[in-house]
Amino acid sequence: MNKAYLWHPFTQMRDYENTDPLIIERGEGIMLFDVQGRAYYDGFSSVWLNVHGHNVPELNEAIADQLGRVAHSTLLGMANIPAIELAAKLAEITPNGLNKTFYSDSGATGVEIAIKMAFQYWSNRGNTRKKTFVTMDQAYHGDTIGAVSVGAIPLYHEVFRPMLFPSHVIPYPYGYRHTGGAPGAKEATLTALRLLLETSGDEIAALIVEPIVQGAGGMIVMPSGCLREMAELCREHDVLLIADEVATGFGRTGAMFACDLEGVTPDLMVVGKGLTGGYLPVAATLATDEVYGAFHADYLERKTFFHGHSYTGNPLGCAVALASLKLLEERNMVQGVIAKESFVRRKLKALEERPHVGEIRQKGLMIGIELVRDKALREPFAWEDRIGVRVAARARELGMLTRPLGNVIVFIPPLASTEDELDVMTDLLTASIVDVTEGQSSA
């Protein structure tokens, strides 16, 4: 049935048809169980979403409780209680100055909203020259057409190029692959941005960035100070800053938001993924009062933001998001991530010595391990080697789920994982990498 009727995202279905399909039946804590009853650690938080684990009583109750009132009512010109309360909560926990929440249902739609808002912001202010966007090499902002237009991963995005709007691309500071290391990479990014803003700043609406960690591009961690300097350059040149915190938000990097790590307040911020604890599809685009103000006008001026989705502000989703944020606070989980971060760092230390482990990158509980064919030369494995896919397959055999990004092995455990669980998961991760890259595996 699965193979007959489902078309899976980001999946070559011909390959998939020849695999032993994994069909999940239930979850408990950080474990997932398949229809055969086999247990797996959720080593990638079900694609970077999960915060508190699965089947969490408090979250289940929040949904059931709301379900007993109303499952959905629209936000077009009316409101519902969880949507209001969540917006107030987001204003409280996001960087100072972000006070207005616009809901949607995925990271991609949240990004679409941010870029449309940035574009219309300038137009509403009477500036019709500022129309383009700056993005960063290997950026991923979701899969709808606007989000793909500010995306820069050739494997995913190139085929659609003819239907996209063009964006400026500056390098993301990728120290491991820069001749000058992290300092050189940071300098190259800032120089490229400065130059671009000096020559073309007057036609640029906004810069969009994955703050501190570039996720799908390979878990690339920015050198410190880079984000803050980028934000300052934007401010100097009157260019809006859009922070895509879809992957990094809600404690993942060891701060509530990655922007907090450098005291940056963006003009627009997109959140999704972990917002509902990984339970339901709710995303939000937050705007400063300044951005909001440019839309606040006489009806006849046509400055309204004409955008919305059927399920914008869904009460069930907002209710579970509120419950998730409550647990995050009550259990002091963002603080907890910092302790877990150093535990995992110590555990993975030995892996650095292995012959095919090029670099281990980590911020909070967001970890990417870049595998290389030749360590001294930093020579990548060929794409055709599917090294990441093979390591993930081995991990599954050993009882842990993850999904690679090319040659980068992803380890993004739920924030609620205990040290004991992290201990087992890092052992499984190590074993999968060693088995596959050092040749003791059938995978």
Applying CB under 6 A, which residues contact ligand PLP?
A: 106-108, 111, 140-142, 210, 215-216, 244, 246-247, 272-273
Taking residue 202's Cβ as centre, other Cβ atoms within 10 Å add up to 12
Tell whether residue 215 is among the known ligand binding residues.
no
Closest CB to ligand PLP among residues 247, 294: 247
Residue (of 273, 6, 305, 16) closest to 140 by Cα position? 273
* H or E element, residue 91: helix 81-93
Tell whether residue 235 is among the known ligand binding residues.
no
Both tokens assigned to 397: 């055999």
Q: Is 436 exposed, middle or buried (0-12, 13-18, 19+ CB in 10 A)?
A: buried
The least CB distance from residue 266 to ligand PLP, in Å, is 13
The least CB distance from residue 49 to ligand PLP, in Å, is 8
Tell whether residue 107 is among the known ligand binding residues.
yes
Diameter of the chain measured on Cα atoms? 71
DSSP letter string, 150-218:
T---HHHHGGGGGGSPP-EEE----GGGSTTHHHHHHHHHHHHHHHHHHHHGGGEEEEEE--SEETTTT
Tell whether residue 108 is among the known ligand binding residues.
yes
Tell whether residue 126 is among the known ligand binding residues.
no
Closest CB to ligand PLP among residues 381, 411: 411
Closest CB to ligand PLP among residues 136, 294: 136
The least CB distance from residue 41 to ligand PLP, in Å, is 21
Phi-psi region of 17 (alpha: psi -120 to 50; beta: other; left: phi over 0): alpha
Which amino acid is located at 83 in the chain?
A: A
The least CB distance from residue 142 to ligand PLP, in Å, is 3
Taking residue 81's Cβ as centre, other Cβ atoms within 10 Å add up to 14
- Side-by-side strand order, sheet with 204-209: 98-104, 283-288, 268-271, 240-244, 204-209, 132-136, 168-170
* H or E element, residue 358: strand 357-363
User: Which single residue brings its beta carbon nearest to ligand PLP?
Assistant: 107
The least CB distance from residue 10 to ligand PLP, in Å, is 10
Tell whether residue 308 is among the known ligand binding residues.
yes
Closest CB to ligand PLP among residues 108, 268: 108
The least CB distance from residue 283 to ligand PLP, in Å, is 6
Closest CB to ligand PLP among residues 246, 294: 246
The least CB distance from residue 127 to ligand PLP, in Å, is 27
Closest CB to ligand PLP among residues 245, 421: 245
Tell whether residue 140 is among the known ligand binding residues.
yes
**Spatial CB neighbours of 19, under 8 Å, sequence gap ≥ 6:** none
Closest CB to ligand PLP among residues 111, 392: 111
Both tokens assigned to 367: 């970890």
Q: Residues comprising the binding site for pyridoxal 5'-phosphate?
A: 107-108, 244, 309-310
Q: Residues comprising the binding site for substrate?
A: 140, 273, 308, 403
Q: Residues comprising the binding site?
A: 107-108, 140, 244, 273, 308-310, 403
